[in-house]
């Protein structure tokens, strides 16, 4: 029995939902998102709630039940509030700047890294060592944050690199004489 699938997804004011042949389309103040619903689950719209139920009790349909409910929740949250990931840069001379639609990163390599900002993503740099990634698609926001972090992940000895805001980096002791 899915615990997450049992909860209906509440739809806030200003968000409209359409269900057309296994496609869930969600429109809100920030934009429009859609997803294909798998054949193993049914989606019903009842008094501003999205209810997901499995068609039968097979293992596949029960596992898709919670997944489809979480994806529907992400669509509703994305078009109403949006998603934000924050990155911190630590290290002497490490910085990020924004030029048009390109994020320029100086991360201790022999060259600057130019990261083109994908469509549907907004990036802000309040400080040279802080990056804020915003968007309506949770998967895309997380993917962009992971790509930026992968240019220089935090290393365990001095903690230098790009990390998520609030991420704990396990520190190792250096060589002893």
Same domain as 73, residue 127: no
pLDDT band at 38 (very low <50, low <70, confident <90, very high): confident
Q: Rounded mean pLDDT of 160-174?
A: 88
* pLDDT (average), residues 74-79: 90
What pLDDT score does 1 carry? 58
% pLDDT > 90, the chain: 28
- Laid out side by side, the sheet with 16-20 consists of 16-20, 23-28, 31-36
Residue 175 in domain: no
Are 73 and 7 within one domain?
yes
Q: What DSSP designation does 88 have? A: E
The residue range of the domain holding 61 is 3-80
Query: Is 51 a member of any domain?
Result: yes
Task: Looking at the structure, tell me whether residues 88 and 63 fall in a common domain.
Answer: no
- At residue 108 the predicted structure's pLDDT band, cuts being 50, 70 and 90, is confident
Residue 109 has pLDDT above 80, yes or no: yes
What pLDDT is attached to residue 141? 92
- Indicate if the pLDDT at residue 54 is higher than 90: no
Nearest C-alpha neighbor of 167 from the set 138, 134, 145, 141: 145
Count: domains in the chain: 2
Q: CA-CA distance, 112 to 4, in Å (whole number)?
A: 44
pLDDT value of position 63: 85
Taking the C-alpha atoms of residue 117 and residue 132, their distance in angstroms, rounded to an integer, is: 12
Q: Which residue(s) pair with 87 in the sheet?
A: 131, 164
- Is residue 177 in a domain? no
The structure's pTM equals: 0.84
Mark which of 60, 80, 100 sits at the end of a domain: 80
Residue 68 sits in a domain whose CATH number is 3.90.930.12
Do both 39 and 19 map to the same domain? yes
**Are 90 and 50 in the same domain?**
no
Query: Is the Cβ–Cβ distance between 15 and 28 less than 8 Å?
Result: yes
């Amino acid at each position: 029995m899915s615990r997450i699938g049992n909860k209906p997804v509440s739809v806030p004011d200003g968000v409209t939902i359409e269900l057309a042949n296994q496609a869930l389309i969600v429109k809100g103040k920030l934009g429009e998102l859609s997803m294909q619903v798998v054949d193993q689950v049914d989606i019903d719209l009842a008094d501003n709630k999205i209810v997901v139920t499995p068609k039968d009790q097979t293992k596949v349909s029960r596992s898709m039940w919670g997944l489809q409910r979480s994806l529907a929740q992400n669509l509703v949250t994305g078009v109403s509030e949006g998603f934000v990931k924050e990155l911190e840069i630590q290290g002497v001379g490490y910085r990020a700047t924004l030029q048009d639609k390109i994020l320029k990163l100086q991360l201790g390599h022999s060259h600057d890294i130019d990261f083109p900002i994908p469509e549907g993503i907004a990036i802000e740099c309040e400080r040279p060592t802080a990056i804020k990634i915003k968007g309506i698609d949770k998967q895309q926001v997380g993917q962009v944050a992971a790509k930026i972090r992968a240019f220089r992940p935090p290393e365990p000895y001095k903690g230098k690199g790009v990390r998520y805001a609030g991420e704990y980096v396990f520190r190792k002791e250096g060589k002893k004489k």
